[in-house]
């Protein structure tokens, strides 16, 4: 498949492992950037061992490393370091998610890299960031979900603090690093000077908590776990139906009135307890009872169809099979796409979710085997001779 | 405060309301872009009415609309439409999160806008996207959390499907639109041609589900709610302590061995049930019991300190007060910053989480009052006379 992506031409040296960094560079790869994934010889990215496994290969790894080329470099080896610095001279972007200080210890921190290429844009993703008193703490997604306040506000009154069902802080960190990098690329057009972007998983998740932080900042009230409702709006919640659970989001005056009509309860839209959004939030308990009196006598499918016909946002709660088999999500929006992997074989991965009219994203190549593109990158791109590559291999540099 | 942001110079016409769109343009605004927020006269953005309220003003609105200028335009009015098209000629980017079709009905869809400015980059954020069979369905965050599969995988075995404690799909949509826009800006440098970016909240959340989708795609197993553990790794979970809950993320071989040392259970690192990551996931139930035997006899603070001293990722679960008052998050990382609002007065908002070495983000100005910058934008930027502005006002266009 040809690469007509928006970022074709950008060269990224990708030192990232696990999820946050690879998710960031996956987005770039899908948009056509030239991603050179650099892994430790023999061992490689930790996620090469992670479930789920398919025909002996990790599809955790395959999914988020498609469209990248893979090389190996032992960055503790001096020959590998020198080669890496030569690569930095020809690259636009370096991305890494090592623990802060690791690259500096290797002599490959931003201060070192910008000496060989002042235009380089260097992005770090870490648990707590490269500054501040916790910078040396190790950070994974679950650590950031815990310390950002997200887990304390997800779940049910009286229940346990709850981790979101996906590695959300990693994804937020990866998306945020992508924004920082692309903004620095934009800025660089003026004077050719790069910079360092420092994204912490904790910070990215704190930012995502938007209104939740604001409640404490202005009211002094600590937001707690409140189930599925939202602090800013009501009725905007899950409601029990005859055969399951339905989501209704009547998030403004017009939608509230339409919901009252759908329930054949026009009296409610005149009720002073519910006459504006703040009053509906204040009376959410009784309002939930009222809406559930109606939903409990109906089936989810009927409720969703009836409410959508009225123009009221409503949805079933899909399990993953329903998501994957939904024709809108899977087919119309191309959120699951075919990929042929040299070892795992034919499988489907998650498609790119950013849809461009002029420069469509694409899944063109499978994730690399460990060191698969050593020859290609070192000889074709870096101009090393076969003998030189062999020497690097023999010395343990690659 | 001066604006040295990476995006200074970029002009954004911001038609967005509520959260997903305003969060996207907030990031741009913090990075120095010139954001002109366009609201409906008299009514304005729905979130101007949303809690929490402080001195009569919505801090929901204040937080995510800082650094933007605000004007009013009634886009159903022909004079306002003509003025908007004149503004498009001078802008780089248009962002909107109306229901799909709304801009086309107004005669202001991408096809129309590119006729007056072929370089315009037009980004849409919607529940289900601008293509596909569900495109006309209304979409809010909770709808996307439900239909992406996220709610079905968040929460506890036997418990209810659970909404994440923040409007996560909105945030993912906003971040993803920002990436699409900046990539299109990069691409435009070549030939000056813009394009349309179409981001759906459902798609953005499906993408964020990474490994969760892959489990179904390759194993045919439907991932369910599994509490706080992770499908790909163990021990990586919450554990009960004497006085609360602690998070431990021993996510690779080295960290697993260090955890065994911390627990004074070196025997475990030799145990074949736990000798690689997949075996540890398979035996997560017994492993949780073993780790909890140890954590239950200790206090959270002691556990976190001891594990961090060993190099094992560990954390307490912060409530929002602890987040806001944490010196690393609040002070070192500047995640809460002061803002002076003309009506609400002095307050703190959430800082920007993308840290740049060369072009720092800043919170320079408060959110606009409704139509606050009409004169400034229409006269200074668009060159309209006072009489013309008065005429627009009299006709209900602004």
User: A143 near B249, Cβ under 8 Å?
Assistant: yes
What are B290's two structure tokens?
């073993």
Which ipTM score applies to this complex? 0.98
If you average pLDDT over residues A251-267, what whole number do you get?
95
- Is the domain of A262 the same as that of A124? no
Does the pLDDT at position A356 exceed 80? yes
Residue among B353, B356, B360 with most chain A CBs within 10 A, to mutate: B353
Residue A231 lies in a domain: no
Q: How far is CA B80 from CA A7, A122, A339, in A?
A: 36, 44, 48
Instruction: Classify residue B343 by burial, with Cβ atoms within 10 Å: 0-12, 13-18, 19+.
Output: exposed
Task: Write the residue in A176, A216, A356 that is nearest to B197 by C-beta.
Answer: A356
- Alpha-helix residue ranges (DSSP H) falling in chain A: 20-30, 59-64, 78-89, 102-105, 110-116, 141-147, 168-191, 201-208, 210-219, 253-262, 277-282, 284-295, 300-310, 320-325, 374-375, 386-394
Give dist(CA B225, CA B227) in Å, integer: 6
Among residues B260, B292, B318, the one where a domain terminates is B318
Residue B312 belongs to domain with CATH number: 3.30.1540.10
First to last CA, chain B: 29
User: A195 near A184, Cβ under 8 Å?
Assistant: yes
- B69 forms beta bridges with B36
**Contacts across the A-B interface (CB distance below 8 Å):** 546
User: B199 near B129, Cβ under 8 Å?
Assistant: yes
Among residues A291, A317, A343, the one where a domain terminates is A317
- Is the domain of B257 the same as that of B306? yes
Give dist(CA B318, CA B117) in Å, integer: 49
- Is the domain of A92 the same as that of A163? yes
Residue numbers in A near B362 (CB within 8 A): none
Q: How far is CA B275 from CA B153, B330, B384, in A?
A: 28, 40, 73
Phi first, then psi: what are they for B4, rounded to 5°? -110, 25
- Is the domain of B196 the same as that of B74? yes
> Is residue B170 among the annotated active site residues?
yes
User: A205 near A175, Cβ under 8 Å?
Assistant: no
Task: Write the residue in A23, A189, A218 that is nearest to B189 by C-beta.
Answer: A189
Residues 6+ away with beta carbon under 8 Å from B333: A128, A129, A131, A132, A200, A202, A203, B351, B353, B355
Domain count, chain A: 2
Q: Which helix (H) or strand (E) holds B325?
A: helix B320-325
Residue A219 lies in a domain: no
- CA dihedral (B95, B393, B87, B67) in degrees, to 10, reads -50
If you average pLDDT over residues A81-105, what whole number do you get?
98
Question: From the candidates B170, B198, B203, B237, which is the catalytic residue?
Answer: B170
Taking only Cα atoms into account, the Rg of chain A, rounded to an integer number of angstroms, comes to 25
Does the pLDDT at position A236 exceed 70? yes
Range of the domain at B284: 236-318
Contact A200 B333 (CB under 8 A): yes
User: A274 near A283, Cβ under 8 Å?
Assistant: yes
- Is the domain of B282 the same as that of B346? no
* pLDDT tens per residue across all 398 residues of chain B: 677 899 999 999 999 999 999 999 999 999 999 999 999 999 999 999 999 999 999 999 999 999 999 999 999 999 999 999 999 999 999 999 999 999 999 999 999 999 999 999 999 999 999 999 999 999 999 999 999 999 999 999 999 999 999 999 999 999 999 999 999 999 999 889 999 999 999 999 999 998 999 999 999 999 999 999 998 899 999 999 999 999 999 999 999 999 999 999 999 989 999 999 999 999 999 999 999 999 999 999 999 999 999 999 999 999 999 999 999 999 999 999 999 999 999 999 999 999 999 999 999 999 999 999 999 999 999 999 999 999 999 999 99
Contact B52 A215 (CB under 8 A): yes
Up-side HSE of residue B27: CA atoms within 13 Å toward CB?
33
Residue A214 lies in a domain: no
- Is the domain of B24 the same as that of B142? yes
What are B388's two structure tokens?
């013309």
- Is the domain of B16 the same as that of B134? yes
- Alpha-helix residue ranges (DSSP H) falling in A54-106: 59-64, 78-89, 102-105
Residue numbers in B near A318 (CB within 8 A): 146-149, 152
Give dist(CA B153, CA B255) in Å, integer: 27
- Is the domain of B53 the same as that of B178? yes
Give dist(CA B208, CA B231) in Å, integer: 15
Report which of B123, B16, B126, B25 is spatially closest to residue B67, judged by C-alpha positions: B25
Residue numbers in B near A160 (CB within 8 A): 156, 227-228, 238, 245
- 3-class SS at A2? coil
Give dist(CA B238, CA B241) in Å, integer: 9
Question: E strands of chain B, at which residues?
Answer: 11-14, 34-39, 53-54, 57-58, 69-72, 93-96, 121-126, 196-200, 236-241, 244-249, 314-316, 336-341, 345-350, 354-356
Task: Write the residue in B140, B236, B322 that is nearest to A249 by C-beta.
Answer: B140
Give dist(CA A372, CA B171) in Å, integer: 36
What's the pLDDT band for A1 if we cut at 50, 70, 90?
low
Give dist(CA B347, CA B357) in Å, integer: 26
Give dist(CA B287, CA B274) in Å, integer: 8
What's the pLDDT band for A3 if we cut at 50, 70, 90?
confident
Q: Nearest 5°: CA angle at B268, between B262 and B273?
A: 140
Q: What is the pLDDT of residues A38-58, one digit of tens each?
A: 999 999 999 999 999 999 999
Residue among B11, B52, B158, B174 with most chain A CBs within 10 A, to mutate: B52
Among residues A280, A296, A317, the one where a domain terminates is A317
Taking only Cα atoms into account, the Rg of chain B, rounded to an integer number of angstroms, comes to 25
- 3-class SS at B213? helix
User: A182 near B179, Cβ under 8 Å?
Assistant: yes
Instruction: Tell me the DSSP string of A120-172.
Output: -EEEEEESS-SSSTTTTS---HHHHHHHTSTGGGSS-TTS-----SS-HHHHH
Contact A146 B50 (CB under 8 A): no
DSSP class of residue A234 equals S
Residue B346 belongs to domain with CATH number: 3.40.50.10540
Residue among B142, B178, B190, B194 with most chain A CBs within 10 A, to mutate: B142
Give dist(CA A370, CA A17) in Å, integer: 13
Question: From the candidates A14, A45, A141, A170, which is the catalytic residue?
Answer: A170
Residue A220 lies in a domain: no
Task: Write the residue in B178, B214, B236 that is nearest to A60 by C-beta.
Answer: B214
- CA dihedral (B351, B88, A10, A23) in degrees, to 10, reads 50
- Is the domain of B46 the same as that of B136? yes
Distance, CA of B96 to chain centre: 16
Task: Write the residue in A166, A209, A219 that is nearest to B150 by C-beta.
Answer: A166
Give dist(CA A121, CA A112) in Å, integer: 12
Residue A180 lies in a domain: yes
Helix then strand count (H, E) for chain B reads 16, 14
Residue A229 lies in a domain: no
- CA dihedral (B305, B310, B316, B320) in degrees, to 10, reads 90
Nearest residue in chain B measured CA to CA from A225: B165
- Is the domain of B308 the same as that of B352? no
Give dist(CA B69, CA A41) in Å, integer: 52
Residue B231 lies in a domain: no
- Quick one: pLDDT at residue B210? 86
- Is the domain of B89 the same as that of B168? yes
What's the pLDDT band for A190 if we cut at 50, 70, 90?
confident
Residue numbers in A near B18 (CB within 8 A): 251
- Is the domain of A288 the same as that of A350? no
Contact A349 B214 (CB under 8 A): yes
Residue B341 lies in a domain: yes
If you average pLDDT over residues A93-119, what whole number do you get?
98
Does the pLDDT at position A338 exceed 80? yes
Q: Nearest 5°: CA angle at A175, between B148 and A57?
A: 70
Give dist(CA A108, CA A81) in Å, integer: 8
């Amino acid at each position: 498949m040809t690469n007509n992506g928006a970022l074709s031409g950008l060269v990224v040296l990708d030192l990232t492992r696990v999820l946050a960094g690879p998710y960031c560079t996956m987005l770039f790869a899908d948009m056509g950037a030239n991603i050179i994934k650099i892994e430790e010889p023999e061992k490689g990215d930790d996620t090469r061992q992670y479930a789920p496994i398919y025909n002996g290969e990790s599809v955790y790894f395959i999914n988020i490393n498609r469209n990248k080329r893979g090389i190996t470099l032992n960055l503790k080896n001096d020959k590998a370091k020198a080669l890496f610095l030569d690569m930095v001279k020809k690259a636009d972007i370096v991305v890494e998610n090592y623990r802060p200080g690791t690259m500096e210890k290797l002599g490959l921190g931003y201060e070192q890299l910008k000496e060989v290429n002042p235009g380089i844009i260097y992005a770090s993703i870490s648990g707590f960031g490269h500054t501040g008193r916790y910078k040396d703490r190790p950070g994974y997604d679950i650590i950031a979900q815990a310390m950002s306040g997200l887990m304390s506000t997800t779940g049910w009154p009286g229940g346990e603090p709850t981790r979101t069902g996906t590695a959300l802080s990693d994804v937020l960190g990866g998306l945020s690093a992508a924004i920082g990098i692309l903004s620095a690329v934009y800025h660089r057009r003026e004077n050719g000077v790069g910079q360092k972007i420092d994204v912490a998983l904790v910070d990215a998740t704190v930012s995502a908590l938007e209104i939740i932080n604001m409640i404490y900042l202005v009211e002094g009230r600590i937001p707690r776990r409140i189930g599925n409702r939202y602090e800013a709006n009501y009725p905007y919640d899950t409601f029990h139906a005859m055969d399951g659970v339905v989501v209704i989001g009547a998030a403004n005056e017009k939608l509230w009135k339409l919901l009252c009509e759908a329930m054949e309860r026009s009296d409610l839209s005149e009720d002073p307890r519910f006459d504006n959004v703040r009053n509906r939030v204040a009376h959410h308990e009784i309002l939930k009872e009222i809406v559930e009196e109606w939903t409990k006598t109906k089936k989810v499918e009927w409720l969703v169809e009836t409410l959508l016909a009225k123009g009221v946002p409503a949805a079933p709660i899909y399990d993953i099979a329903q998501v994957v088999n939904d024709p809108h999500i899977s087919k119309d929006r191309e959120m699951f796409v075919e990929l042929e992997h040299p070892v795992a074989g034919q499988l489907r991965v998650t498609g790119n979710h950013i849809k461009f009219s002029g420069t469509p994203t694409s899944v063109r190549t499978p994730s690399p085997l460990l060191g698969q593109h050593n020859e290609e990158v070192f000889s074709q791109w870096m101009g090393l001779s076969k003998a030189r590559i062999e020497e690097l291999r023999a010395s343990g540099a690659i």
